[in-house]
Structure 1
Amino acid sequence: MEQYGKMSIIGHLSELRKRIIISFLAFVVGFIISYTFIDEIRSFVLKPAQGLELIYLSPPELFLAYLKIAFITGFILASPVIILQFWLFIKPALKKEEKKHLIFAMIMGLIFFLIGASFAYYVIIPMSINFFVRMSVDDITPMFSVVNYLKFVNSLLLSFGLVFQLPLLIILLSQLNLITPKTLRKYRKFVILAIFTVSAFITPPDIISQVMMAVPMMILYEFSLIASSVIYKRKKNKNK
């Protein structure tokens, strides 16, 4: 494979164009597959809302909701190909140690994202919906539009998927000697404040969702602190 250092600007652009085209085609295929199985995917997405009456408020709303579901699912199906194309594009410019760190980050990032999204889907979303339904009264029937339900679900899935990247970020910073366990302990109070602030911004505008996100984030932070301590001790023993 031709090294990046020997490639011209035209060569870089040509390689980038190739990776973008492959990624786009992978997304198109993923979108088509997703829309083909839209009924099964819809059932899966709506499963946490069992017992609720979902409605759509305008003629094209349900169709647009289906397109949105197929778009997101298609991107998820294409993500392994997109990640691979990203890796193939930057690989020639990386050193051996950098390649190891990046491979670790990509694999663990995907795993942590899936764990976070699964936690939101199986735990947080049903709890949130159950809480809001219980707030209904005799003369007010809880009915949700499909679009608003999808916005609610997507925001929580994405938010928890990103939040669960926290341990990976701290592990990588510890591995690169950019942060120490002492620093993490020193600024714990400020981190907790930042966690609640971030939760207020990236979750739906209700205190329940914010608290349910903040608590796992604090647990993840403590887990990250332990992981950072283990890495720090190993590096210290290795340098003796």
Structure 2
Amino acid sequence: MSTDETFISHLVELRARLIRACGGILLGFVPCAFYARELYSLLAQPLLDKLPEGGQMIATEVITPFFVPMKVAMMVAFVITLPHTLYQIWAFVAPGLYSHEKRLVLPLVLASSILFLCGMAFAYFAALPLVFEFITHFAPEGVAVMTDIGRYLDFLLTMFIAFGITFEVPILVIVLVRMDIVSIEKLKEIRAYVLVGAFVIGAIFTPPDVISQFMLAVPLYLLYESGILVAVVLGKSDIRERSAVSRSIDEKDA
């Protein structure tokens, strides 16, 4: 098979995988759309719980009450069909990987998806209640906190993405070490810079309050340390595996 034919076959395979991934998301969207209002109410609960009695959210545009819940339904559909989407990605790239790469990539893909969901859960259950408690507490006297539902969703997505990516730090550390881009010793040396960088990132991607910055920066640094620890454990495992293979070869030669 020529190079052009190989390239075209890869494009055809990529198109098929993308269609299957998008089809899975659309199938997940159908049942979510029926419960779009309930899903939005669930996501809005961290703010609604902190509003004064009788407090509510508002819609400032005509089509917002319809489109915002639909956006939530699509987001939920993407999350619940994420394993299927990741499988399509894995099925596309797996034929071009070596056996040892396959053993590494699949666990990393699964771990990264789980960690991203954990980051979203941490934002929803831990960070958002504290942020909204802080914001509503400092509202001036006589000011009614009535957030637009579209703006709230945009803020929520920003927080989910920020915390989801933050929880991917261990995966990034492990990949950098396994690919010999950065050594474990170097990662340990730059701990102080990572700590400062974590607070800078927290200041950029969270509201301008100290609590939310700490809620992002502290887990980011702790996850960095956990990534180093896992990388060290995997490195020792590789050494033991190589030693076992070497002994097996020596025994056969003997």
Tell me, in whole angstroms, the C-alpha distance in 2 between the residues paired with 1:162 and 1:127: 20
Contact kept, 8 Å, 2:130 with 2:212, in 1: the verdict is no
- 2:13 aligned partner, one-letter code: E
Deviates more, 1:106-115 or 1:48-57: 48-57
Secondary structure, counterpart of 1:58 in structure 2: coil
Contact kept, 8 Å, 1:155 with 1:204, in 2: the verdict is no
Contact kept, 8 Å, 2:130 with 2:211, in 1: the verdict is no
Contact kept, 8 Å, 2:59 with 2:65, in 1: the verdict is yes
1:25 is displaced (CA, Å) by 1.3
Query: Per the alignment, do residues 11 and 224 of structure 1 end up closer, same or farther by CA in structure 2, a change over 3 Å counting?
Result: closer
Any stretches of 5+ residues in structure 2 without a counterpart? 244-254
State the match for 1:198 in structure 2. 201
Tell me, in whole angstroms, the C-alpha distance in 2 between the residues paired with 1:160 and 1:83: 20
Any stretches of 5+ residues in structure 1 without a counterpart? none
- Aligned match of 1:215 in 218, 224, 230? 218
Tell me, in whole angstroms, the C-alpha distance in 2 between the residues paired with 1:100 and 1:79: 20
Tell me, in whole angstroms, the C-alpha distance in 1 between the residues paired with 2:28 and 2:242: 48
1:119-158 deviation line (CA, Å, top 9, x unaligned):
1110001110111110123221222111121122111111
1:6 is displaced (CA, Å) by 11
Tell me, in whole angstroms, the C-alpha distance in 1 between the residues paired with 2:205 and 2:134: 19
Q: For 1:1-240, what aligned pairs fall within 5 Å after superposition?
A: 8-51=6-49, 52=51, 53-235=56-238
Name the TM-score, length of structure 2 as normaliser. Answer: 0.84
1:183-231 deviation line (CA, Å, top 9, x unaligned):
1121112212222222233334544322321111112122223223333
Name the TM-score, length of structure 1 as normaliser. Answer: 0.89
Query: Per the alignment, do residues 81 and 233 of structure 1 end up closer, same or farther by CA in structure 2, a change over 3 Å counting?
Result: closer
1:92 is displaced (CA, Å) by 1.1
Tell me, in whole angstroms, the C-alpha distance in 2 between the residues paired with 1:40 and 1:13: 40
Structure having the higher Rg: 2
Identity of aligned residues (%): 29
1:86-143 deviation line (CA, Å, top 9, x unaligned):
1111111111111111101111001111111111110001110111110123221222
Give me the CA root mean square deviation: 2.4
Secondary structure, counterpart of 1:57 in structure 2: coil
Tell me, in whole angstroms, the C-alpha distance in 2 between the residues paired with 1:63 and 1:163: 31
Secondary structure, counterpart of 2:81 in structure 1: helix
Contact kept, 8 Å, 1:180 with 1:232, in 2: the verdict is no
Contact kept, 8 Å, 2:37 with 2:69, in 1: the verdict is no
Tell me, in whole angstroms, the C-alpha distance in 1 between the residues paired with 2:4 and 2:92: 14
Query: Per the alignment, do residues 195 and 209 of structure 1 end up closer, same or farther by CA in structure 2, a change over 3 Å counting?
Result: same
Contact kept, 8 Å, 2:39 with 2:69, in 1: the verdict is no
